[in-house]
Amino acid sequence: MMGDPAGGDVLVLNVGSSSIKCVVFDAALHEVLRGGVDGIGHHAALRMGALRQPVTAPDHGAALSALLKALEAQGIAMTSLRVAGHRVVHGGPNLAAPARVTPAVRAEIARCAPLAPLHNPHNLAAMEALARLTPDLPQVACFDTGFHASIPEVAQRYALPPDCAEAGIRRFGFHGLSYAGLVARLESLAGGLLDRVLAFHLGNGASACAILRGQSVATTMGYSPTDGLTMGTRCGSIDPNAVLRLAEERGVEGARDLLNNRAGLAGLSGGISDMRALEESACPEAVFAIDHFTYWAGRHAGSLISAMEGLEAVVFTGGIGENSARVRAAILDGLRWAGVSFEADRNARNAPRLHGDDASVTAWVIPAEEERVIARAALDLVQA
């Protein structure tokens, strides 16, 4: 497999707490190859195309160097890369637009680390390791929070004194790269920019967003990606006094672990966080977990429709949003009051267009394309 001989490939890196995923695009943004390393720290494994093998990767730097070696073995020379783009979960209050990775940008990402302790430090480690391995390769950071910079202050602020907001205790919102890609794709599918779009990104993490004339005006995730909808293992919205009681009874770390890793669908069902597995189960707890997921998606949707004062289109993306006809049908049925309708056969086929010809509110499935959004932004920045 060959990269672009003109030297125009883009390497996109999505770095998590114990994994690095990578996608290579050519200059025309066609996907060339994808791979990754999981289990960094212990039992690391490398995937690249059809290849699967254990690797020694005690840290993110070692994982990245294994990944680059595997790319070279597949014919993607480091010299063929034009730019690397990173998905960065948190840009904090100051980083919204994609940015060239400079010492100042790295310092700002480091300053946001307390806001995303499981993500930002690993993003920085990958940027530093890549700079050591390929010093001449420009790097660009793209922020999952950035799309939500347009949210008005009244929707951003918690009802807390100003010093809390200044310290970063405010709503940020996440899944922004997914929503940005969805807006662009919907515009071409619908033949123009729609005014009022309710978008659901439903994966292991799940959120919904009110998008007014292409801009985010409200979203369900807040200070962290734990707020809002019921998720795979995260609790979604919960009373702060319930959190305080859990912290008192189980300690802060115990409460953090419960709310982030053992709650949501997994907490309700007795351990199953995977929607497909829940759908295959007939046990009442699994059925209840799915009902909880779709009920709360609908409850939050009502609030988002109010924030943009109406609704023209509903869009689903993410692993559940793209593949679960049952979840989509339940959420869309719950929105009939808002003028939503859909064709059952189109929904069963995961068709991009779910609505009938006379629908007043349209409904769509659009695959998440975060990596392509990052690749485009990275290329645009180095070509500017």
Binding site for ligand ADP (CB under 6 A): 203-205, 232, 274-276, 279, 318-320, 323-324
Active-site residue, from 9, 26, 144, 227: 144
Beta carbon of residue 206, minimum distance to ligand ADP (angstroms, whole number)? 8
Beta carbon of residue 199, minimum distance to ligand ADP (angstroms, whole number)? 14
103-111 helix and 120-133 helix, angle to the nearest 10 degrees: 160
Instruction: Round to whole Å and give the CA distance between 30 and 236.
Output: 36
Closer by beta carbon to ligand ADP, 228 or else 232 = 232
DSSP of 276-317, one letter per residue? HHHHH--SHHHHHHHHHHHHHHHHHHHHHHHHTTS-SEEEEE
How far CA 308 is from CA of 127, 291, 298, 311, 356, in Å, comes to: 38, 26, 15, 8, 24
Beta strands in 60-170 (DSSP E): 81-88, 99-100, 139-143
Closer by beta carbon to ligand ADP, 9 or else 200 = 200
Q: Which of 354, 14, 352, 366 is nearest to 178 (CA)?
A: 366
Beta carbon of residue 150, minimum distance to ligand ADP (angstroms, whole number)? 23
Beta carbon of residue 274, minimum distance to ligand ADP (angstroms, whole number)? 4
Active site residue 144: yes
Closer by beta carbon to ligand ADP, 316 or else 342 = 316
DSSP 8-state secondary structure symbol assigned to residue 191: T
Closer by beta carbon to ligand ADP, 3 or else 181 = 181
Residue nearest to ligand ADP (CB): 319
Instruction: Round to whole Å and give the CA distance between 17 and 157.
Output: 28
The answer to whether 101 and 140 are in contact (CB under 8 A) is yes
Instruction: Round to whole Å and give the CA distance between 194 and 356.
Output: 17
Beta carbon of residue 18, minimum distance to ligand ADP (angstroms, whole number)? 13
Hey, which residues are catalytic here? 144
